[in-house]
Structure 1
């Protein structure tokens, strides 16, 4: 019987195909999570001015970081429902799904460990 983690913080989520020092006993299938985010019109006006002068638009960076964390949390939640111990081969993708709305998509393989 697998020792399933009790929280998302305890689940290993890696971009490689294995968990170092552990053996995979069962492949449970693909899991995914996504988050679609957009900003308000007023925020976009500020960002436009920032673009005129150059430099990082930190609030966009935070927006995408928040979306990545949310997508990862949803991936982990799906893996936990499958009684997984870890998620391997995790990848991230992004796309524009609507005008001024971006999606962050995370996917990987849920596994049980020996």
Structure 2
């Protein structure tokens, strides 16, 4: 179970977990799917540095940072959507990614928004 970091316009008490249940909490209502997504594209500056790094090997820090930022943004949007649904928690949380076109990808955060007793 994860306590969400404080994002603008989000509650700090909304819980997000990959589990099917919330420890010490009873799910009394399923509100539906909560989701948040972002589409991010590469850009020349990162591509140039990544190309150089690819020649010598190792982690491509530019893309690692880009994807980490995209995941956080998608997660923040998921939390906002869950709040709009009136949720106390999101269970069965997952990330998914897909290529939209050459050089861009969608990061999707999704889970089941629930009310707790």
Q: How many residues align?
A: 109
Q: Structure 2 stretches of 5 or more lacking a match?
A: 1-8
Structure with more relative contact order (C-alpha pairs < 8 Å, separation 6 or more): 1
Structure 1: gaps (5+ residues):
1-5
Q: Which residue of 2 aligns with 1:107?
A: 110
> Which ranges of 4 or more aligned residues in structure 1 deviate by more than 4 Å?
none
CA contact (8 A) 2:10 2:79 kept: no
**Is the 2:42–2:103 contact (alpha carbons within 8 Å) kept by the matching residues of 1?**
yes
Deviations 1:14-45 (A, max 9, x none): 11111111111110011111111112123201
Assess, with a 3 A threshold, how the Cα gap between structure 1 residues 42 and 34 changes in structure 2: closer, same or farther: same
| SS state at 2:12 partner | helix
